[in-house]
Amino acid sequence: MTTLNLPTLNRANASQCTFSLQANTQTFESPLNKSVQTYELPGARWLFTATWQNLNQIDARAFKAWLARLRGAAGRFYAGDLTHKTPSGYATGAGTVSGAGQTGNAIVTHWGVANQSNWLLPGDYVEIGGELKIITAIAAVDGSGLSTLTFEPPMRISPADTSLLVIVEPLATFRLNDDKQDTANFDPDRHPTITISATEVF
């Protein structure tokens, strides 16, 4: 099944968006002294919820058709943080991964500029090798055009050398949380409101 983009609407943008990172942890509490141990596991994933309010009939029909194409939780679609589509830093253009075999939550990248501070700022997003990351420390570009990006969550798969970085509308792949989201609420003037909630899939 084809992975879809969010529907393109004529008049309406999402009025609300919740975009959050869910860690994957396990917690054990001792029944003897109530001490607590918490383990961090791989598999942190993004959660996405968005609402489109007061849609006109054309946009509402397009959205309902898009939901039908997803076939509930069986389908997949691309989405990102609708409130932060472009960097807050000075980053522009296309950066690349600089060096193979990089893992963890920091990688070296190469850009077409030199000696640039505040290139990416905490809270900016970047898509690396198809994985969506949030920047957690200020990234600067040195005199050789190199910049070390620090982010969360850590890479699941080491990105290929020279693979492109996406900094404008970076995306992750999601599925609907259940099969019951093809529902529209109507105001007295029959303007539909649609809300969807989804979880990242790897």
Tens digits of residue pLDDT in 68-95 = 999 999 999 999 999 999 999 999 988 9
Three-state DSSP state, 45: strand
Angle, CA of 7, 23 and 161, to the nearest 5°: 70
| Chain segment 87-120, per-residue pLDDT in tens | 999 999 889 999 999 999 999 999 999 999 999 9
Q: 38 and 65 share a domain?
A: yes
CB atoms within 10 A of CB 73: 16
Determine the average pLDDT of the residues in 121-134.
97
- Domain extent, residue 41, equals 4-80+172-200
In this prediction, residue 43 carries a pLDDT of 93
Q: CB-based contacts of 146: which residues, under 8 Å, 6+ apart? A: 98, 108, 109, 110, 111
The CA distance from 198 to 68, in Å, is 15
Q: 101 and 136 share a domain?
A: yes
| Domain total in the chain | 2
- Per-residue confidence at 188, pLDDT binned at 50, 70, 90? low
Whether 86 is in a domain gets the answer: no
159 touches 97 (CB < 8 A): yes
Q: 27 and 57 share a domain?
A: yes
In this prediction, residue 19 carries a pLDDT of 97
Q: 158 and 179 share a domain?
A: no
Q: 44 and 65 share a domain?
A: yes
In this prediction, residue 86 carries a pLDDT of 96
| Chain segment 26-55, per-residue pLDDT in tens | 999 999 999 999 999 999 999 999 999 989
* pLDDT beyond 70 at 187: no
* pLDDT beyond 80 at 59: yes
Neighbouring-strand partners of residue 52? 194
Whether 90 is in a domain gets the answer: no
What is the residue-averaged pLDDT of the chain?
Answer: 94
- Per-residue confidence at 12, pLDDT binned at 50, 70, 90? confident
Q: What is the CATH number of the domain that holds 119?
A: 2.40.30.290
Q: 149 and 177 share a domain?
A: no
